[in-house]
Structure 1
Amino acid sequence: MKSELNLIISPEEAYNEQLFQEIVRRKSGISKGENLVFRPIRRSLDARGKRVKVNVTVEVFSGQVPPPLAGEARRYPDVRGKEPLLIVGAGPAGMFAALRAIELGVKPIILERGKDVRSRRRDLADLNKQHLVNPDSNYCFGEGGAGTYSDGKLYTRSKKRGDIRRILEILVAHGAREDILVDAHPHIGTNKLPVLVENLRKRILESGGEILFNTRVSDFILENSSIRGLVTREGERIKGIGVVLATGHSARDIYQLLLDRRVQIAAKPFALGVRIEHDQQLIDRIQYHCKVDRGEYLPPAAYSLVQQTVLDGKQRGVFSFCMCPGGFIVPAATSPGEIVVNGMSPSRRDGKFANSGMVVAVELEDLSAYRHHGPLAAMYFQQEVEQAACRAAGNTQTAPAQRMVDFVKGRPSDQLLKTSYQPGIQGLDLHAILPGFIAKRLAMALPQMGEKMKGYYTNEAQLIGVESRTSSPVRIPRDKESFEHPQVSRLYPCGEGAGYAGGIVSAAMDGERCAEKLIAKYAGKLA
Structure 2
Amino acid sequence: MPHDISIVLRPDEAANETAVVRAIARKIDIPTDSIRHYYITRKSIDARKGKVLVNLGVRVFIGEEKIIDERPVFNYTDVRNAMPVIIVGAGPAGLFAALRLIELGFKPIVIERGKSVSYRKRDIAMLNREHQLNPDSNYAFGEGGAGTFSDGKLYTRSKKRGDYRRILQALVDHGADPAILYEAHPHIGTNRLPGIITRIRETILQHGGEVLFSSRVTEIILDSGQAVGVYLADGQRINGKAVILATGHSARDIYHMLHNQSIALEAKPFAMGVRVEHPQALIDAIQYHGIPRSEYLPAAAYSLVHQVEGRGVYSFCMCPGGFIVPAATGTDEVVVNGMSPSNRNSRWANSGIVVEIRLDDLADYAQHGIFAGLEFQAEFERLAKQHGGYGVQAPAQRLVDFVEGRFSSNLPACSYHPGLNSSEMHLWLPEHIGFRLREGFKAFGKKMKGFLTNDAVILGVESRTSSPIRIPRDPETLQHIQVKGLFPSGEGAGYAGGIVSSALDGSIVADAVSRYVS
Calculate the TM-score normalised by the size of structure 2. 0.97
Closer/same/farther in 2, CA of residues 126 and 433 from structure 1, 3 Å limit: farther
Residue 444 in structure 1 maps to residue 424 in structure 2: no
Following superposition of structure 1 onto structure 2, how do residues 70-469 of structure 1 map, counting pairs within 5 Å? 70-71=71-72, 73-290=73-290, 293-310=292-309, 315-469=310-464
For the residue of structure 2 that corresponds to 1:343, the secondary structure is strand
Distance 1:17 1:61 in 2: 15
Larger CA deviation: 150-159 vs 85-94: 150-159
Contact 1:385 1:433 in 2 (8 A): no
Residue 17 of structure 1: CA displacement? Answer: 3.2
Residue 44 in structure 1 maps to residue 39 in structure 2: no
Residue 160 of structure 1: CA displacement? Answer: 2.7
Tell me the alpha carbon deviations over residues 19-77 of structure 1, each in whole angstroms, 9 at most, x when there is no partner: 33333344444435556322222111112111122111222224457344634x42200
Tell me the alpha carbon deviations over residues 129-149 of structure 1, each in whole angstroms, 9 at most, x when there is no partner: 111111100011100001111
Residue 88 of structure 1: CA displacement? Answer: 0.2
Larger CA deviation: 183-192 vs 244-253: 183-192
Distance 1:12 1:521 in 2: 52
Contact 1:70 1:178 in 2 (8 A): no
AA at the equivalent of 1:66: I
Contact 2:215 2:232 in 1 (8 A): yes
Closer/same/farther in 2, CA of residues 32 and 393 from structure 1, 3 Å limit: closer
Distance 2:58 2:315 in 1: 33
For the residue of structure 2 that corresponds to 1:4, the secondary structure is strand
Larger CA deviation: 388-397 vs 118-127: 388-397
For the residue of structure 1 that corresponds to 2:134, the secondary structure is coil
Tell me the alpha carbon deviations over residues 286-326 of structure 1, each in whole angstroms, 9 at most, x when there is no partner: 111125x222211111111111112xxxx111110010111
Distance 1:4 1:264 in 2: 49
Distance 1:461 1:373 in 2: 37
Distance 1:8 1:34 in 2: 21
Larger CA deviation: 478-487 vs 38-47: 38-47
The CA RMSD measured in Å over matched residues stands at: 1.5
Residue 492 in structure 1 maps to residue 487 in structure 2: yes
Distance 2:499 2:35 in 1: 39
Q: Find the counterpart in structure 2 of residue 501 from structure 1.
A: 496
Distance 1:247 1:381 in 2: 21
Residue 18 of structure 1: CA displacement? Answer: 3.7
Tell me the alpha carbon deviations over residues 245-280 of structure 1, each in whole angstroms, 9 at most, x when there is no partner: 000000011011111111100222110000000011
Tell me the alpha carbon deviations over residues 424-474 of structure 1, each in whole angstroms, 9 at most, x when there is no partner: 111111123321211111112111111111111111111011000000111
Q: Which consecutive unaligned segments of at least 5 residues does structure 1 have? A: none
Distance 1:34 1:393 in 2: 64
Distance 2:447 2:121 in 1: 40
AA at the equivalent of 2:162: G
Calculate the TM-score normalised by the size of structure 1. 0.95
Closer/same/farther in 2, CA of residues 82 and 282 from structure 1, 3 Å limit: same
AA at the equivalent of 1:403: R
Larger CA deviation: 496-505 vs 173-182: 173-182
Distance 1:195 1:69 in 2: 26
Distance 1:66 1:338 in 2: 56
Residue 118 of structure 1: CA displacement? Answer: 1.0
Distance 1:493 1:32 in 2: 52
Distance 2:418 2:18 in 1: 44
Contact 1:268 1:475 in 2 (8 A): yes
AA at the equivalent of 1:6: S
AA at the equivalent of 1:178: P
Residue 521 of structure 1: CA displacement? Answer: 1.3
Closer/same/farther in 2, CA of residues 364 and 4 from structure 1, 3 Å limit: closer
Q: Which consecutive unaligned segments of at least 5 residues does structure 2 have? A: none
Following superposition of structure 1 onto structure 2, how do residues 12-27 of structure 1 map, counting pairs within 5 Å? 12-27=12-27
Contact 1:128 1:422 in 2 (8 A): yes
AA at the equivalent of 1:299: P
For the residue of structure 1 that corresponds to 2:224, the secondary structure is coil
AA at the equivalent of 2:204: I
Contact 2:87 2:111 in 1 (8 A): yes
